[in-house]
Amino acid sequence: MRSQQRGVRNSGEMTRREALRLGAGAVAGAAAGPFVFRIARAGEAFNWQRFKGTTLYVLLTKLPWTETLERRLPEFEKLTGIKVEFSTLPELQARQKATVEFTAGSGGVDAWYTSLAIEKRRFWKSGWYLDLSKYLKDPTMTAPDYDWDDMAAGAKQSVIQPDGTISGLPAYPDPWIFFYRKDLFAEKGLKPPKTLAEMEGLAQKLHNPPSLHGFVARGLKNANAPAWDWVLFSMGGNFQTKEGKASLNTPEAVKAMDYYAGMLKRFAPPGVVNFNWYECSSAFMQGQVAMYFDGVNFATQFEDKEKSKIAGKVGYALLPAGPGGHFSPMFTSAMSVSPQSKNQGAAYFFAQWATTKQSAVQELLSGVGSARTSPWNDPEVKAKAKMPAEWYQAYVDSVKIGRQGLPEIAGVTEYRDAIGVAIQKAIEGAKSADVLSQAQTEFQEILDKTER
């Protein structure tokens, strides 16, 4: 059932060189895209009222980025004359609803927030993404100042499918970073860890249950996969071989499981095997945990004095490196349009508006990241930054070492389940080699089924 909501719009300095790092290396901005766009002429008008009178239904996932978007919906309605009805659901429920709607072919969803790490291949193979390249090339559909090449190259690449179609407009890349209690670190003269070994040593020094636990990360099946995958990369492993075969039973994978499960067994709060990001964040915000790592955009709530007991006491840094290298698992989201929609043009207008430079500025002002490069150096962002300067720096630097945190396959959810059960069992005391052997068998079966 559709639910209509309305919100009220809420009203570290970074150098230009630092801001442009978002576009450096593997995710460099202003890279040549697959399209040629005309250059806007001074004073050229764009007809945002083209679909005035249309009513859209938009399906959103409950996250800080979409919360900021919701508050600004009256702006979109005033700009376009398009009315927006929407539902905001937790990620799993939102994905389930989208799957049900698209499978039924009801046309009930016009646009939606898509988590590409999970949905990209599966939804594309199912024909559930409208190719937006035709609109991006059309000057009557895309505003002249939209500037596709302002998107970081990694973000653009994340929405492009093997056949060259574009499945959405990038919202933001979400690299994972390291969160720590800088007040506790200062008291003991400690510095953020540079390596996995240092992080383990710090957890041991700070661990003082039941009042304080040294470390927390996701333990719940499925949700724990990207967290463990980072340790796998850092140990020199990977979930697949170069040939695309399962690679979960290697010595590097065993070391990764020993480390990750061991950290949670020894230093996390009781019941961590059932912790998703919500439980981890809550424990951290309540002052029960010294160190935590997860998506950079979850940090906004840590600085909310009404919700967090540790506001102003949180430090932000790059994730520590392992013997296999220095990585940050990264996930990109986008706003997509359903090919089943009867209002495709209006739905594209919504996706376009949600990902403009102006919208990116508002997200950054709210402490949420952006897939664009230029807004990081916007004067208003620099003057009214909501988050500490080190959060912005950790975000930008993490994008530079960002790596796809999950296998880009149609069966990614099944992979998460298979490795997720293995992680849970290891936390509960099972041998890493044994649980990984079973996960290896299951993952290869998934690949044989979904990647043919």
Does any domain span residue 3? no
CB 381 within 8 A of CB 375: yes
**Does 25 share its domain with 131?**
yes
Residue 381 within any structural domain of the chain: yes
In a domain, 400, yes or no: yes
Q: Are residues 184 and 214 in the same domain?
A: yes
pLDDT digits (tens, 9 = 90+) for 62-88: 988 999 999 999 999 999 999 999 999
pLDDT tens digits for range 283-296: 999 999 999 999 99
d(C-alpha 364, C-alpha 392), whole Å: 9
Instruction: Indicate the residue among 404, 419, 442 that finishes a domain.
Output: 404
Q: Identify whether 5 is part of a domain.
A: no
**Alpha-carbon distance values, 14 to 89, 107, 182, 330 (Å):** 34, 44, 21, 22
Q: Are 217 and 177 in contact (CB under 8 A)?
A: no
Of all residues in the chain, the percent with pLDDT exceeding 90 is 76
Band the pLDDT of 37: cuts 50, 70, 90: very low
C-alpha dihedral sign at 170, 175, 152, 156: negative
pLDDT in tens, 308-346: 999 999 999 999 999 999 999 989 999 999 999 999 999
Reported as a pLDDT band with limits 50, 70 and 90, residue 8 is: very low
**Same structural domain for residues 185 and 256?**
yes
pLDDT at 400: 83
Same domain, 76 and 199: no
Is the pLDDT reported for residue 192 higher than 90?
yes
pLDDT grade for 403, boundaries at 50, 70 and 90: confident
187-206: average pLDDT: 98
Task: Identify the pLDDT of residue 263.
Answer: 98
Q: If you ran DSSP here, which 8-state letter would residue 392 be given?
A: H
In this prediction, residue 396 has a pLDDT band, given cuts at 50, 70 and 90, of confident
Check: CB of residue 320 under 8 Å from CB of residue 105.
no
Q: Tokens representing 187?
A: 């008291």
Instruction: Read off the pTM.
Output: 0.76
18-30 residue pLDDT tens? 333 333 333 333 3
Q: Are 139 and 163 in the same domain?
A: yes
Closest CA to 221 of 5, 424, 436, 428: 424
Do 32 and 84 lie in a common domain?
A: yes
pLDDT for position 38: 39
303 and 431 both lie in a single domain: yes
Q: Are residues 280 and 304 in the same domain?
A: yes
> Are residues 225 and 114 part of one domain?
no
The pLDDT tens digits for 220-258 are 999 999 999 999 999 999 999 999 999 999 999 999 999
Same domain (yes/no): 36, 143: yes
Residue 124 — φ and ψ, nearest 5°?
A: -65, -45
- Expressed as residue numbers, the domain containing 105 is 16-174+331-404
Count of other CB atoms within 10 angstroms of residue 417? 18
64 vs 281, residue with greater confidence: 281
Indicate which CATH number applies to the domain containing 244: 3.40.190.10
**Measured distance CA(355)–CA(368) in Å, rounded:** 13
Clarify whether residues 275 and 377 are in a common domain.
Answer: no
The whole-angstrom separation of Cα 271 and Cα 380 is 43
Q: What is the mean pLDDT of the chain?
A: 89
pLDDT class for 2, splitting at 50, 70, 90? very low
Kindly tell me the number of DSSP H helices and DSSP E strands found in the chain.
Answer: 18, 8
3-state secondary structure of 267: helix
| Structural domain contains residue 8 | no
In a domain, 302, yes or no: yes
Q: Which residues pair with 55 in a beta bridge?
A: 83
167 and 292 fall within a common domain: no
Give the total residue count for the chain.
452
Per-residue model confidence (pLDDT) at position 44: 58
Domain assignment of residue 72, yes or no: yes
What is the domain count for the chain?
2
Cα first-last separation, the chain: 36
